[in-house]
Amino acid sequence: MNKKLEILLSSYIDGECEHPKIVEDMLKEDEKAKEIYTKLLTSKQIKDLNYTECPLSFDKIILSTKKEPIKQLLVTAGAVAIAFLLLFPLIKSSHQAQQFKSKILTEASR
């Protein structure tokens, strides 16, 4: 029954129904018919939407996502290198200061 009802409602939506008054009365009374009508109407509206073409091909979109891990690795490696270059002198001078303090304390304790 649902397939025949879908065909009837689809023809009504397309303006091809021979007895639109009967379908209108059915839509007022039958909840199942209203539900199918709403689904068919939504489907027709989606088909009527204007879509714009994407300037990129699907292959280029996929390849760009594959390059992302390499980009992330390079950014991470760069951040580590910068951190090392900035922090190494601080650590080195801190270590030298600690050695100097240790040397003074050992001399003072003698």
Q: Give yes or no: residues 58 and 39 share one domain.
A: no
Q: Give yes or no: residues 41 and 93 share one domain.
A: no
Planar angle of CA 47, 41, 19, nearest 5 degrees = 120
Measured from the Cβ of residue 25, the count of other Cβ atoms closer than 10 Å reads 12
Assess whether pLDDT exceeds 70 at residue 73: yes
Q: Give yes or no: residues 60 and 97 share one domain.
A: yes
Q: Give yes or no: residues 74 and 92 share one domain.
A: yes
Q: pTM of this prediction?
A: 0.42
The mean of the pLDDT values for the chain is 81
Q: Give yes or no: residues 43 and 70 share one domain.
A: no
Tell me, what's the pLDDT at 81?
92
Instruction: Using a pLDDT cut of 70, give the percent of the chain over it.
Output: 87
Domain that holds residue 21: 2-47
Q: Give yes or no: residues 8 and 41 share one domain.
A: yes
What is the spatial distance between Cα 5 and Cα 2, in angstroms, rounded to a whole number? 5
Assess whether pLDDT exceeds 80 at residue 45: no
Q: Give yes or no: residues 69 and 36 share one domain.
A: no
State how many domains the chain has: 2
Mark 51-88 as b/e (b = at least 16 C-beta within 10 Å). Answer: eeeeeeeeeeeeeeeeeeeeeeeeeeeeeeeeeeeeee
